Amino acid sequence: MEVFYPGYYKDFVCIAGACPDSCCKEWSVDVDDDAAAFYRNLPGALGDRLRQVLQDTEDGTIMVIEDGRCPMWRQDGLCRIQAELGHDALCKTCREFPRLTHDYGDFLELGLELSCPEAARIILNSADWEMVCESVPGGEAGDYNGEVMEILRRSRKEFLDFLGATSLPFPEILAVLLLYTHEVQAELDGGKMAVLDADACLEDARRFAKDGDIRPLQDFFLELEILTPQWKNRLEAKAVAPCWDDRYKALLGYFIGRYWLQAVSDFDVLCRAKFAITACLLIGYLGGDLLETAQLFSKEIENDPDNVEAILDGAYTAPALTDLALLGLML
């Protein structure tokens, strides 16, 4: 079986106590059944504490946060379970975070989540977002439409190759992506094969672009689920003129790498490209330290499936996410 991952994937090591944010803040951790059973039968003080903080919900067992933190979080920034029992005693969520696995049956895609500050640092500072392929034993038949997957893999590679080689200003790269993805979507819908012609895409984009306004996009995000007051404040504040440095290319490479192939589930790559474009535009216009803003975006949006779904749906219905509204913010 083939395993694909971005070139930076293996650079990640958790910085634990030195982490400026920590995955142990703000959200309740989903605890898998095996770990929940193990914790509930654990003798001693740690077992007593775990029995207090585990809670069964209709979606499974969670570790309830206390004072905005995981109850297993210690003052030194380390996890009590890991410190007392070792890494293998962690539940699946904590063992794997921030590593992502997408299993397509006959191949796997791995990645890192931007919501971890250390992963975000690696992602944004790496120009190595193209996918590496490794062969490992195992695998089964692919559970997807082969023709659609073929189009998605070819078009993702074509766009990532372009992203790595182009010297266009970043907003123009986003415009090329939007127009190119329309062609890819047309191919998925039975049209002719999409070819990435950046000049032609830009010419079309310039014909349609009108003056843009970021406020409606900020208001759209204010309507979604919000985890932290910090995110609400950022969305309510006045936007800034973005400073599009090369790290935005890495950010876009991350979003494309993570979401593009998932279109095999519903044959809709356009809404995923618009998710990536919207994310880059919002992060740019919110300003501040790019790493912190991108990490906060991911924590608030990518880690909340309802928010991701709302944006994918909004790609076709929300006035702030129309092609014209987005092009106005790019050109």
CB closer to ligand SF4 out of 25 and 182 = 25
Measured in whole angstroms, the distance separating CA 322 from the mean position of its chain's CA atoms is 21
Write down the least CB distance from residue 13 to ligand SF4, Å. Answer: 8
Give the residues lining the site for ligand SF4 (CB under 6 A). 14-16, 19, 21-23, 97-98, 116-118
Write down the least CB distance from residue 229 to ligand SF4, Å. Answer: 20
Residue 316 to residues 122, 173, 254, 322, 324, Cα–Cα distance (Å): 33, 21, 23, 7, 12
To which H or E segment does residue 157 belong?
Answer: helix 146-165
Bridge pairing between strands 29-31 and 54-57:
unpaired
Write down the least CB distance from residue 2 to ligand SF4, Å. Answer: 27
CB closer to ligand SF4 out of 274 and 299 = 299
3-state secondary structure of 56: strand
Nearest to 8 by CA among 111, 101, 100, 97: 111
On the question of a cis peptide bond just before residue 98, with omega within 30 degrees of 0, the verdict is yes
Write down the least CB distance from residue 73 to ligand SF4, Å. Answer: 9
* Interacting residues of 122 by C-beta distance below 8 A, sequence separation 6+: 8, 11, 12, 112
Write down the least CB distance from residue 90 to ligand SF4, Å. Answer: 11
3-state secondary structure of 44: helix
CB closer to ligand SF4 out of 98 and 111 = 98
- Both tokens of 185, joined, read 């979507």
Write down the least CB distance from residue 12 to ligand SF4, Å. Answer: 8
CB closer to ligand SF4 out of 20 and 164 = 20
CB closer to ligand SF4 out of 116 and 160 = 116
Burial of 251 (C-beta count, 10 Å sphere; 0-12/13-18/19+): buried
